[in-house]
Chain A
C-alpha cells in the first residue's frame, strides 16, 4: 500500500486537488475511494499514523496509545465516561470488534418523518448496504466460533425466554485469538485499513498519514481547501500543509469533524454544530462461574440480547446487551477498588463472564474546543438514560444468573456483589449513574446531523452543508439520533450512498 507520511514533509507545502477527505475511517475511506474511482484528484489526510498488522503486537499498553485518540485516555470533561475512538489510517475500524448491523429501519423512518431526511429510507439505502456488505465480506459469525462468554449470554437469553441472536461480522480467516480491539495481527479484518484504503489508493487517491487538519478554508459560502500540520511520531509539527480544493469531506468522526468545523468558524446560524452528541454509553456486569470461561479467547462479541431494545421513538426499551470481555489491563481498570481485594478479584479473571448494557441514548452532549484547541466533550446523562442504564445492569445480572453464575459483581463504587437472582429485587439500583459505575462510550455520533431543514440540521440530505458549498460530511456526525447499535456499516454505507452527490458537486 502506498501511503505517504506527513512526517516526511518539511517547511510549507502547498497541494492542489479536487477534493480533500479529512479522516480515513469507515466514512473517509469510502469517500476517497468513490471520488477517486469517479476520476477526481483526491487527497485524504489522517491525523494518526499508518499501522498495519505487522505493527500490532497484542500488547494493551502499546496498542492503546497507538490506535486510540488521546492515547486511549479520552474522556468526557467531567471524567465520567471513557470515550474510545480510533486514530490512524483506518480509524476505528482498526480496533472495533467487527460487528455489522444495518441502521434499523425504524430509525431511518424516524429520520425521514421527524428530521426531514430524504432519500435515505430503508429501500433507498438498501443498495448501499448490500454493496458495502459485499465489499467487506460480511457474514454471520459461525456458531463454531462462538466462545464460552458469548455462549453464556445465549444460554441466559434462552433460559429467560428473551429475544437474542447471532451477530454478523466482517472477518475472513479469523484465528480466534481474541485480540480484535488491539488490531488484528492476522489481518483478518475486512476493514477500511485492509480493504477500502488500498482500493482508494489503487484508484489514484493520495493518502497522507500524520497530517492534522487545523482549519477548513472557506469564505462562508464555499469551500476553498484545508490547512493542516504535518506531525512526527512525537506530535511535533514538521510542516504546514495547505491544500487548495473546491470540496472538503469531513470524516474525522463525530468528535473530530465537529471540532474542526467549530475551529474553522463554519457558518452555524442555528448553533447546531457539535450540539447533539450521542455516544451509546455503556457499563458492564461480571458473573463468576465455577468453570473457566476464558472470555479473552475467541471472537469477543458474537451474540446479542435485544429483549430490552426497541427503536420506536420514546421507547422504554433502550438497552442493547452483548458481551464485553477485556484483556487484563482493561479488566483491572474497570473492576472497583484497589489493593489486595482488587487483586483477589483479578485472580478470578478466567472465571468471569462479562456482559455490557449499552444505551440507545436520548441524552445530548456537546463537542467543543478546549483552551488548547483540542476537542473536548460535555455529556450529562439524562434521568431517563440513567433509568435505562439501571435496567440494563439488572438485565445483565439476570442473564448471568440464568446461565449459572455463582455470583454477580457489578463494578460500582463501592462494589455490589449479588449472590442469587432473588437478591436482585432487594437492590437499590440508583447507583447506576455516571461516576458510580464505570462508563465507556465507543460510538460518538450526531454532531453535524443531516436533514433538509436548516433549523434542525447542519448538512442537507446529500451530506452538503446548508450554506457552505463544497463542504460535505461523511461519518457518524450525520446521524440525527442515536442508532442503538454498532455504527460501522451505517457509516460506510452512508458514505457510499452520499458519494455520488459529492462527485456531482465536482462536476457543477
Chain B
C-alpha cells in the first residue's frame, strides 16, 4: 500500500506539474498575444500581416519614421505599414517568413535587451525607442542585420511618398519634364 500510494503520488505530482505548466504557458501566451485590434478600415484588407503583426509593425514604424518637425507627414499619411503589407506579398517566401518572425522577436524578446518585461507594443514611446536603439547596436549580428533590413523596408514605405520629398528638396522622377543638371 505505501508503495502504491507512493507510485500514484509521484504520477499525480508529475501530471499536476505538467498540467500546471501547460496552463501557465497558455495564460502567458494568451496575455502576450491578445489585445491586437485592427483599425476598422484595415479589417479584411491586409494581404500578409495579421492583426498582431500589423500592430507591432505600426509601433515600430512610429519610432523609425518619427518626424523631426510638423512639416513631415506621418506614417498614416504615407501608409507605411500598408505599403510593407503589399510589398511582402511578392517577397521570396524565406524572406517573408523571416520578416514576420522578426516582428515577433521585437514584440516579445527585444524589450528584454532594454530591461523591459512588457511586450514592445505596450511600452511607452520613449521605451520603445530604447528597445530599438538596443537592437541596433546588439552584439548579435543577425539582430542588427534584421533591424537594418526592417528599417530599410519602412524607409522605403515612407520616402516613396512624394509628400516626403519636399523635406529633402528632392525633385523626384524626371519623366515628363526637362532634365535640369
Task: A58 to B87: give the CA distance in the assembly, Å.
Answer: 17
Task: A344 to B68: give the CA distance in the assembly, Å.
Answer: 6
Q: Is A269 an interface residue (CB 8 A)?
A: no
Task: A414 to B180: give the CA distance in the assembly, Å.
Answer: 36
Report the minimal beta-carbon distance from B153 to chain A, rounded to whole angstroms: 8
Number of A-B contacts (CB under 8 A): 138
Task: A155 to B165: give the CA distance in the assembly, Å.
Answer: 29
Q: Is A162 an interface residue (CB 8 A)?
A: no
Known contacts A177-B179, A234-B90, A343-B67: A78-B167 contact under CB 8 Å: no
- Whether A80 contacts B181 by the Cβ 8 Å rule is no
Interface on chain B toward A: helix, strand, loop, or mixed SS? helix
The range of chain B's interface size is: 35 or more
Q: Which residues of A contact B152 (CB under 8 A)?
A: 329, 332-333
- Whether B149 contacts A58 by the Cβ 8 Å rule is no
Q: Is B94 an interface residue (CB 8 A)?
A: yes
Closest to A177 in B: B174
Partner of A343, one of B72, B144, B145, B169: B72
Known contacts A57-B173, A80-B141, A329-B160: A298-B181 contact under CB 8 Å: yes
- Whether B169 contacts A349 by the Cβ 8 Å rule is yes
Partner of B90, one of A80, A235, A435: A235
Q: Is B93 an interface residue (CB 8 A)?
A: yes
Known contacts A79-B145, A339-B64, A374-B94: A60-B169 contact under CB 8 Å: no
- Bits for A184-198, please: 1 = Cβ < 8 Å to B, else 0: 010000000000000
Known contacts A65-B87, A296-B170, A349-B170: A413-B92 contact under CB 8 Å: no
- Whether B165 contacts A328 by the Cβ 8 Å rule is yes
- Whether B168 contacts A70 by the Cβ 8 Å rule is no
Q: Is B148 an interface residue (CB 8 A)?
A: yes
Report the minimal beta-carbon distance from A434 to chain B, rounded to whole angstroms: 7
Q: Is A38 an interface residue (CB 8 A)?
A: no
- Whether A341 contacts B164 by the Cβ 8 Å rule is no
Residues in chain B within 8 A of chain A (CB atoms): 63-69, 72, 83, 87, 90-95, 129, 132, 136-137, 141-142, 144-146, 148-149, 151-152, 155-160, 164-165, 167-170, 172-175, 179-181
Q: List 22 A-B contacts (CB under 8 A).
A: A61-B157, A64-B156, A73-B91, A73-B92, A79-B144, A79-B148, A297-B181, A333-B151, A333-B155, A333-B156, A338-B63, A338-B64, A338-B136, A339-B64, A339-B65, A340-B67, A343-B66, A343-B72, A343-B167, A347-B167, A372-B94, A374-B92
Residues in chain A within 8 A of chain B (CB atoms): 57-61, 64-65, 70-71, 73, 75, 78-80, 147, 175-179, 185, 234-235, 292, 296-298, 327-329, 332-333, 336-344, 346-347, 349-350, 370, 372, 374, 413-414, 434-435, 438
